[in-house]
Each structure stands twice: as C-alpha cells, then as structure tokens.
Amino acid sequence: MAHIDANGHAPQEHHPALQHHFHTMAQQLEASVLGMWVFLVTEVMFFGGLFMAYILYRNLYPDAWLAGSHELNEVLGGANTVVLIVSSLTMALAVRAAQVGSRIGQVVNLILTLIFGTTFLVIKYFEYAAKFEHHLVPGAHFDPTRDPAQQLYFSLYFMMTGIHALHMVVGIGILLVMLRKAWKGHFSAEYYAPVEVSGLYWHFVDIVWIFLFPLLYLIGKHH
C-alpha cells in the first residue's frame, strides 16, 4: 500500500532518470535545454569572430574573394545544403518520436540523420581533395600564379568549413550515443531531454552551414 502524506496524497513515483537536484522531470528538461542554449551562445560568438574576419577581408580584397569563390563547386555545396536541411527534418522527427514514446520512430529517424550527416562529410572530402589537387591549399604549395591575397580567402574557407565539419563529426558521435540508447528503449514520453538537446546542437550546426554556403560559394556567381 502506498504511503499517504499529511495532506492525504500519495507521493509521485520517482523517475529513474530524474537527478537528485531536480524536483520534477519538467524542471530537469528546462534546465537541460537552457544549458544547451547557453553553450550555443558561446558557439555563436566563436563563429561570429570568423564571420567578422570574412567580412573584413572581403572588403579589403574583393577581387581575390570573387576569384576564390569561382574555384568552389556550388553544385556540391548546394547538394550539401539540401542534405543538411533534410537532416534537420529527420532530427526534428526523432525528437518528436521521443516525445511521444515511439522507439521505432526514434531509431529510424536517428539512423536517417546519421546517414545524411555522413553524406555531408563524404561530399566535403571530395571538395577538399579537389583543392589539394589544384594547389589551392594555403601554404608553400599554393599556386604561385594566383594573387597571394587569395590565400586569405582559402585560409578562411578551410578554417570555417573545417571547424564546421569538426562540429559535424562531434554531432555524429552524439547521435550514435543517442541511437544506442534509443535502441535500448531509454527514452520515453517522460524522459527525452538528451534527444532534444542533441537536436538543438544538430540544428545549430545546420544553420551555420546555411550561412557559410552563400558567403563562400555564391558571392561571385552573378559576375
């Protein structure tokens, strides 16, 4: 028989995923989401510095920026944009599946998100390989016939897309952990905070690419 308190109410059952310093699962979820948003604010500041450097040097060397942009493959960049947009959809569906307690929905949509994320990295590999082949990597082997200022463009290109790709790798690692837990049935309608905060991280990485693609690939396509 359940213990009855002084007010005549039986205490709520303690969820096994509820940490001791939270009173309810809802409070724990709010704290988790807030923590992720605080982390993402620091990421915005980090990428913001790179975007400011891009804007500064583009204004100083507009011709070099246009010439550098013409060396990028906008078809591959556009394909990666579509891939990430679709991956955001499947990630959102995975979060929704967790919220309603659908184990199959979680597993299927997390697998799809992982496939799209991996596809992005494979396409990026072929893009990088082409830059090495055509001596467009800043440094001692950069094409000597080109304007030296173009090295600034490609330095920012590799820095910004490389750091973004690193975030993708981290995101894939996180999703693998979420997939393993989802497969074992760890998440339910009462406990889905890890899937939701993972989704916030994934969406942020996707949004960063939405800015990178036009800035790096499309600046000179109308010339």
- pLDDT of 168-207, one tens digit each? 999 999 999 999 999 998 888 888 889 999 999 999 999 9
- CA 121, 146, 133: angle at the middle one, nearest 5? 35
| DSSP tag of 102 | -
Half-sphere exposure of 162 (CA within 13 A, CB side): 9
Query: What is the structure's pLDDT at 25?
Result: 59
The two tokens of residue 122 are 């494979």
| DSSP tag of 11 | P
Q: Are 73 and 127 in contact (CB under 8 A)?
A: yes
Query: What is the structure's pLDDT at 148?
Result: 87
Spell out the alpha helix ranges (H) of the chain: 25-60, 62-69, 74-99, 103-133, 150-183, 193-217
For 26-217, the fitting CATH number among 1.20.120.80, 3.30.1380.10, 3.40.50.720, 3.30.590.10 is 1.20.120.80
- Average pLDDT over the chain, rounded to an integer: 87
Residue 15's pLDDT band, with cuts at 50, 70 and 90, is low
Three-class DSSP labels, 34-68: HHHHHHHHHHHHHHHHHHHHHHHHHHHCHHHHHHH
Query: What is the structure's pLDDT at 115?
Result: 97
Q: Is a pLDDT exceeding 80 seen at residue 223? A: no
Closest CA to 47 of 167, 145, 172: 167
Q: Is a pLDDT exceeding 60 seen at residue 12? A: no
